[in-house]
Structure 1
Amino acid sequence: MAGGHGGFEPVKLDPAIERWSQMRENVFQHFKFTKRATRQVFTWGLLVPAAIATIAITFDNKYDWAGKQKGSSLLKGTPAKPVPQEE
């Protein structure tokens, strides 16, 4: 189907893409921690998840969506919107 049979190659191979693919497959063999790589690991591996967790923890119990009426506050602990009394 997609593979070459009998000397026929249905897909033309690009040497640049093949080199890049080979490099990506073997990156673990040549990786070194440089200042730039260390900074990126620290930023994307520690600071960004810590910031997202801090925001999530801060807003976790701040709002209450259950049973709220139109016009009443979503903040937790606020009284429900008063229902007007008919006389």
Structure 2
Amino acid sequence: MAGGHGGFEPVKRENVYQHFKFTRKTTRQVFTWGFIVPAAIALISVTFDNKYDWAGKQKGSSLLRGTPAKPAPPAEE
């Protein structure tokens, strides 16, 4: 299963918490993956959520929020 293959020994995680120390490298990783990446994803999500409006759009009309609806075609007589 997850044993050593070809001279590779996987990291044993059973006691990592006992020997963990905040160094410059681990602190940078915590801030990057714990704060910066989620904040960037949230910012992108909110930006695009407020930019487009999918509700009630007709074929051929713009998905951008705040644009006028597609004009109705002229009625034939």
TM-score, with structure 2 as normaliser: 0.76
Determine helix, strand or coil for the equivalent of 2:51: coil
Alignment of 1:67-82 (within 5 A): 67-82=56-71
Query: Shift of the alpha carbon at 1:45?
Result: 0.7
Would you tell me which structure has more helix in proportion to its own residues?
A: 1
Higher Rg of the two aligned structures: 1
Determine helix, strand or coil for the equivalent of 1:42: helix
Give the paired residue count. 71
Counterpart in the other structure of 1:46: 35
Question: In 2, Cα distance between the equivalents of 1:20 and 1:29?
Answer: 18
Counterpart in the other structure of 1:32: 21
Question: In 2, Cα distance between the equivalents of 1:50 and 1:61?
Answer: 17
- Tell whether 2:33 aligns with 1:56: no
Letter in 1 for 2:49: D
Query: Shift of the alpha carbon at 1:43?
Result: 0.6
Question: In 1, Cα distance between the equivalents of 2:66 and 2:10?
Answer: 57
Determine helix, strand or coil for the equivalent of 1:29: helix
In structure 1, runs of 5+ residues without a counterpart are 1-13
Letter in 1 for 2:52: Y
Question: In 2, Cα distance between the equivalents of 1:77 and 1:52?
Answer: 24
**Deviation by residue 1:38-84 (Cα, 9 ceiling, x = unmatched):** 11111101110111111122122221111111110001121111121
TM-score, with structure 1 as normaliser: 0.69
Indicate the structure whose relative CO is greater, using CA pairs within 8 Å and at least 6 residues apart.
2
Counterpart in the other structure of 2:72: 83
Question: In 1, Cα distance between the equivalents of 2:47 and 2:59?
Answer: 25
